[in-house]
Amino acid sequence: MTGALWQGMVAVETAAVIDAAHRLGVLRLLTTSSRNATELASDLCLDPPATNRLLDTLVQLGLLRRDTGGSCAANPAAVRSLEKVTEAWGALSTVVRTGIPVTQADTADGAAAFYPTFARQLAAWFAPAAARLGELLSPPPGRILDIGAGAAPWSIAIANEHTHVTALDLPAILPVTRAAVTEAGLATRFSYLAGDVFTTDLPAAAYDLALIGNLCHLFSPELNRSLLGKLRHCVRPGGRIAIVDVLPTTDPLRQLTISRYELGLLLRTSAGRVYPLTAYLTWSAEAGFPGLTPFPLPSDPPMSLLLSQTA
Ligand SMILES: C[S@@+](CC[C@H](N)C(=O)[O-])C[C@H]1O[C@@H](n2cnc3c(N)ncnc32)[C@H](O)[C@@H]1O
């Protein structure tokens, strides 16, 4: 059996665990109050030992937390994110038939509806990659523009007492950004710009670094060209761009994750893609950000930091 097929079987098993937890009402009940396996089995007319094993797996998945007394409670943010993912991927067959996404995370309105639920989960997921990016960009430049900041995992990882980050995102997302920044103890190092990056006026030559974390894969090549062109105007001469995104790979197992990720982009974007390095090299060179260099980051799916050189 190939490693890829094995991964597929593990995915089916995991989906069955989640499906059972939903069908049996386990997640719904544990979202309202905590219970141990015996109590839960009694409330839902389940077999207690089997319920206990199901709870073990749900705890390991991060959907439940178990206290030292054995009582389990749902992790509401994780359950909400999972419900959204389940709903979106449930539409895959329809999307493959029609080619029409079920969510438009690539439009300002669609992103405003989609990302408030997901931004914190994404940031938690990217934490190891963000830590590596912090090392790669150390010492950080002084004035940073974080475009499509979300819960700001990348700029939080590089901010220090000498930096000032302007976090740009849609108005509906910025409360999530502020909360994450405040929790990180960096409130004085950040300011916020609410708006659509394609239509918001940005000050000329105001930043040393423009950070574009997980944004380009949402858009068409034309929009990415226009985004990088716009950033050339607001980054000072000699300043840099740092793009974080998923690149294709020749490693079959890693490419499986990337293919699935790119399939997922069909669910939520009209023209989103996993673009090859050559596309980023072309767009950045055209925009006047020379010498884009990739640095792999530890993440699943595998992402890279693409850092331009000081001109
Ligand atoms: C995939 S999330 C990435 C968030 C964060 N950079 C990260 O890597 O975790 C994309 C982010 O871009 C924001 N976004 C999407 N379209 C945008 C637009 N036109 N203008 C500003 N922000 C946008 C979304 O609201 C969301 O927070």
Q: Whose CA is nearest to atom 4 of ligand 1?
A: 150
**Between vectors from CA 298 to CA 12 and to CA 63, what angle results, nearest 5°?**
40
- Claim to verify: residue 82 and residue 228 sit in the same structural domain: no
Sorted by sequence, the CB contacts under 8 Å of residue 155 that are 6+ apart come out as 144, 146, 149, 165, 167, 190, 211
Q: Which tens digit of pLDDT belongs to each residue from 89-147?
A: 999 999 999 999 998 999 999 999 889 888 998 999 999 999 999 999 999 999 999 99
Q: Note down the domain range covering 242.
A: 108-308
Q: Which tens digit of pLDDT belongs to each residue from 14-26?
A: 999 999 999 999 9
208 close to 140: Cβ distance less than 8 angstroms:
no
Q: Domain with 272 in it: what CATH number?
A: 3.40.50.150
Residue 299 CA to residue 304 CA, distance in Å, equals 9
Per-residue pLDDT, 311:
61
Q: Judge if the beta carbon of residue 305 lies within 6 A of ligand 1.
A: no
- Claim to verify: residue 136 and residue 276 sit in the same structural domain: yes
Q: Which tens digit of pLDDT belongs to each residue from 200-248?
A: 999 999 999 999 999 999 999 999 999 999 999 999 999 999 999 999 9
Q: Judge if the beta carbon of residue 174 lies within 6 A of ligand 1.
A: no
Q: Please identify, among 61, 90, 119, the residue that sits at the C-terminal boundary of a domain.
A: 90
Residue 48 CA to residue 64 CA, distance in Å, equals 17
- Claim to verify: residue 160 and residue 36 sit in the same structural domain: no
- Using pLDDT thresholds of 50, 70 and 90, give the confidence band for residue 1: low
Q: Judge if the beta carbon of residue 239 lies within 6 A of ligand 1.
A: no
Q: Cα of 150 to ligand 1 centre, how many Å? A: 6
How many domains is the chain built from?
2
Per-residue pLDDT, 23:
96
120 close to 176: Cβ distance less than 8 angstroms:
yes
- Claim to verify: residue 73 and residue 147 sit in the same structural domain: no
Per-residue pLDDT, 85:
87
- Claim to verify: residue 9 and residue 120 sit in the same structural domain: no
Q: Give percent of the chain with pLDDT exceeding 90.
A: 87
Pairing of strands 235-246, 207-213: parallel
Q: Please identify, among 90, 119, 136, the residue that sits at the C-terminal boundary of a domain.
A: 90
Q: Domain with 63 in it: what CATH number?
A: 1.10.10.10
